[in-house]
Structure 1
């Protein structure tokens, strides 16, 4: 089965080319689009301050990162974990931009964008005109968000893994009649006795966004 790596980063801000740095990397191994249980996770000393507005997003202050390894000390292990496989992220261009800026600082080549799978793009194709943040997708697929009080990279990866399965058609899309030798246990077919259909009820925000999208179309048939 095909291997891919789903990952997320947290940072000191939004501008990698203006001095903002990565402070957290989390990555999960997927085989056949399902998590195997293998993961990579590290907190990183950004070698600069962490603005209060960034701390409000991810919960990490400068003091939390004191004594953590620098990017130059962990990137080899990260590159070994991701190998040459596809890289999945939500709003992946943001994460690629930060990781490539960090790799440039240690004189390493950038991650090729040909490896990029952006779940935000996938969601926009499936749900045009609707909110497609990670939170919105979790609510749409009835995925538990109760633990997500801040944008922790590891938790976001775990939530995104569940969202990605749904975007790719649900666990049944890779079903088989048996488990081949050496197949990851988590990649086994989940039968109907353990998987129930999810009834999706759009909220007012989703309905309003859909109406706005339909109205923007020339002569929409839905309004005739």
Structure 2
């Protein structure tokens, strides 16, 4: 399917914490397309069924009083699925929002990963930093609320669609999803005694040790380290 023909719905959640223990306290959906300006589809507070920790309230300013008497997520979910329909879902850090919600049966695109691929010179890749870096002029009210963040992400995503096509990538939804999910090259070492050093300058024996012994490396970092090793050693799979 061509990008102009696709229907995209941006999803954003506010929660009591991180998955799997965290629970949704607010959910918003905003529809957007290549030539379709963002339109609010759905926005609601949700009773998480547990107290909201003060640390979470300090971020989104949603309290137990705000969600008292609101429906539970399972009660609104059938209606949310109707709104989603045949859309491709978009979220800024899609792994988080997808992990907070029941299965939708629809494909997801991470707009943060798209930004990291398309705009490597951006100062950061959060949706609010990209909002100002791209000069997006939109009123969204209070940040760190689901609807405001979803509106910002929708505008950022629309810019990403245009930048993706302008860069000459295939005009196809499946190709866009594959592009977003493809590895992102890590430029600097993020931890250890070589933290901050360009990854290409880190001793190969240290990279080899890390790949063999550290299980919690992100897929992007593992791919980038393996790539440096392969280039340094001349062929893949050779041990030091």
Tell me if TM exceeds 0.5: yes
Aligned to 1:13: 17
Contact 1:34 1:161 in 2 (8 A): no
Q: Are residue 131 (structure 1) and residue 124 (structure 2) matched?
A: yes
1:153 aligns with one of 134, 142, 146: 146
> Matches of 1:40 and 1:146 in 2, distance apart?
18
Aligned to 1:51: 53
In the superposition, relative to structure 1, how do residues 142 and 6 fare at CA in structure 2: closer, same or farther (>3 Å)? same
> Matches of 2:139 and 2:34 in 1, distance apart?
27
CA deviations 1:22-55 (Å, max 9, x no partner) are 0111001224453353511111011110000100
After superposition, where does 1:1-224 map in structure 2 within 5 Å? Answer: 1-15=5-19, 17-18=20-21, 20-32=22-34, 34-35=36-37, 37-100=39-102, 110-112=103-105, 115-128=107-120, 130-144=123-137, 149-169=142-162, 216=198, 218=200
> Matches of 1:82 and 1:2 in 2, distance apart?
13
> Matches of 2:125 and 2:114 in 1, distance apart?
10
Contact 2:143 2:149 in 1 (8 A): no
In the superposition, relative to structure 1, how do residues 36 and 133 fare at CA in structure 2: closer, same or farther (>3 Å)? closer
Question: Structure 1 length as normaliser, TM-score?
Answer: 0.67
Contact 2:128 2:152 in 1 (8 A): no
> Matches of 2:153 and 2:42 in 1, distance apart?
15
Question: Structure 2 length as normaliser, TM-score?
Answer: 0.63
CA deviations 1:61-95 (Å, max 9, x no partner) are 01110011111210000001001321001000100
Contact 2:10 2:31 in 1 (8 A): yes
In the superposition, relative to structure 1, how do residues 48 and 84 fare at CA in structure 2: closer, same or farther (>3 Å)? same
Aligned to 1:186: none
Q: May I ask how many residue pairs the two structures share in their alignment? A: 170
Query: What is the RMSD computed on CA atoms of the aligned residues?
Result: 2.8
> Matches of 2:47 and 2:188 in 1, distance apart?
45
> 5+ unaligned residues in a row in structure 2: which ranges?
167-186, 191-195, 202-240
Contact 1:135 1:145 in 2 (8 A): no
Provide runs of 4+ in structure 1 moved above 6 Å: 210-215
